[in-house]
Structure 1
Amino acid sequence: MIEDLSVDYLQRPDTGRVPEPASVLGLLAIGVLGAGSALTRKLLK
């Protein structure tokens, strides 16, 4: 009975690299600052 037992190991697929939340928030903050700066320049003209 034990001879018929087989064990298969499951392999997880490679997951892509996920950026850290802090880096995503930093990029978002830079974008917001840039958009605010452009809007301010446009309003001052």
Structure 2
Amino acid sequence: MNIIRGTKNITGPIPYPVVAIGNFDGVHVGHQILFRKAAEL
């Protein structure tokens, strides 16, 4: 999994992109599930 902050930091094509947009104020159980599912895709 790569974390890209801002579109200016994308240097080329990203194979099979999954995007999570939001302000994550800590990684609680709900966020952990979201990140795990995104990484599985």
Same-fold call, TM cutoff 0.5:
no
Structure number with bigger Rg: 1
| TM-score bucket (shorter structure) | 0.3 to 0.5
Larger % of helix: which? 1
Q: Please, what TM-score do these two structures have when normalized by structure 2?
A: 0.34
